[in-house]
Amino acid sequence: MEKAQERERKEEFDASEIEYVSYGGEHHLPLIMNLVDQELSEPYSIFTYRYFVYLWPQLSFLAFHKGKCVGTVVCKMGDHRNSTFRGYIAMLVVNKPYRGRGIATELVTRSIQVMMESGCEEVTLEAEVTNKGALALYGRLVFIREKRLFRYYLNGVDAFRLKLLFPQPELHPFLPMMADRDAAQKHDDHSPASEEFSELHRNL
């Protein structure tokens, strides 16, 4: 499977041909699921997908090339330990022949932008330590590697917890607040603390 994909030739296209759309409803769900199933190691149930796209449709984006879905990002946001309003990037996938052309960066930048405008203080995610592509991408967006999670994934590989801290008003007194925080609070989701979430990944 892996090898077959490697042999697949790179798709020829112009960056302007890629169309980015926000999650638009149920018809997008199978497109997202197919992409993620193909490319990510973790198996997710349909409940996981629905959990994200129904609660935070504004944080999910899809990339299309000539009508074909070639990339997607799925995220959430909410209170973390009742103290920090945090965005979380759950899945980011670009079809192999379309990689290396900035599609993932564009997708994830759009989500982060919305998170920032919604009053998030920080954004986090986990990435396999062996996933050089993802690490380089988030490195360019200056996510820092906050911690390493020992054998985090089901396949036994360690993960990095990556984190991006948005400018804090107390550090930059002249910056206006990014957005009205109360508006964002509507999306509170009673989500478990991130550490619990990591346990979950490991045990599934």
Partner 1 sequence: MDWKSTEQASMERHAPNHSTSTSSSIHATENTVWADASPLLETVCKELRDGELIHGENFNLYAAMSALEIMDPKMDSGIINKYASVDEAIEDGLAPVPISLDKTVDVQCIIDIIDQLLACEATWHKGHSLAQTVFSCAYLLRPERTLSHALLDSYCKVIRATCKAVNSIVSDARTHEEEDLFTMAYGLPLNVEGDEKCLSLLNAVEENISRQLRACKAPPSKRKLLEDIEPLQNNFDLEEGYCKALLCRIRFRKHFCHVLTCMRRPQGRGLELARKHIASCISELGIILKSEEFLMSNAYGTCEDGTEDRTTASGHQAIGFDASLNSRISAPTPPRSIKILSWKKAIEYFENLLHHLDIICSYLLDPSLDVLLRFVAQFQKAQPDLVARVHLQLLLVQDGKLYGRYPILAVIIRAARLPEVIMRHDIQKNEYVVQLGQIVINMLKILCTNAAWQRRKLGKILQDWRAIYVQLELAFRKEFGEGSSIANGENASAGILKHILIWVEEQTYWIAHRFLVLGFELELYSPSEYCMVYWYLYVVLIRLAEKTHLKMTVSDGSAKQKGKKRKDSPKDLAREARIPPAILFLQCQICLAEGLALLLAALRNELMVLQSPSPFNSEHERFIQHFELLQKACIPDLISYPSFKESTSHARFSSLVMYNYFKDAQKIAKEVKNSFLNDPDRLAELCILEQVAEHNSVAVNVISRVGALDPSLKVSFEFIHHPCFATVVVKRS
**N-terminal to C-terminal alpha carbon distance within the chain:** 23
User: Rule CB under 8 A: is residue 175 a binding residue for partner 1?
Assistant: no
DSSP letter (8 states) at residue 43: -
Residue from 43, 100, 102, 169 that binds partner 1 (CB under 8 A)?
A: 43
Strands (E), 81-196: 84-94, 122-128, 144-149, 159-165
**Three-class DSSP category at 62:** strand
User: Rule CB under 8 A: is residue 125 a binding residue for partner 1?
Assistant: no
Residue from 141, 181, 183, 188 that binds partner 1 (CB under 8 A)?
A: 141
- Contact set for partner 1, span 73-102 (CB under 8 A): 76
User: Rule CB under 8 A: is residue 179 a binding residue for partner 1?
Assistant: no
Residue from 89, 149, 153, 184 that binds partner 1 (CB under 8 A)?
A: 149
**Three-class DSSP category at 108:** helix
Query: In terms of C-beta density within 10 A (0-12 exposed, 13-18 middle, 19 or more buried), how is residue 166 classed?
Result: middle
Residue from 96, 97, 106, 145 that binds partner 1 (CB under 8 A)?
A: 145
Q: Cα separation of 157 and 42, whole Å? A: 12
Q: Which two tokens stand for residue 83?
A: 């103290």
User: Rule CB under 8 A: is residue 45 a binding residue for partner 1?
Assistant: yes
Give contact residues for partner 1 (rule: CB under 8 A). Answer: 26, 29-30, 33, 37, 43-48, 50-51, 54, 76, 109, 112, 116, 129, 139-142, 144-151, 154, 156, 158, 160, 163-168, 171, 189-192, 196-197, 199-204
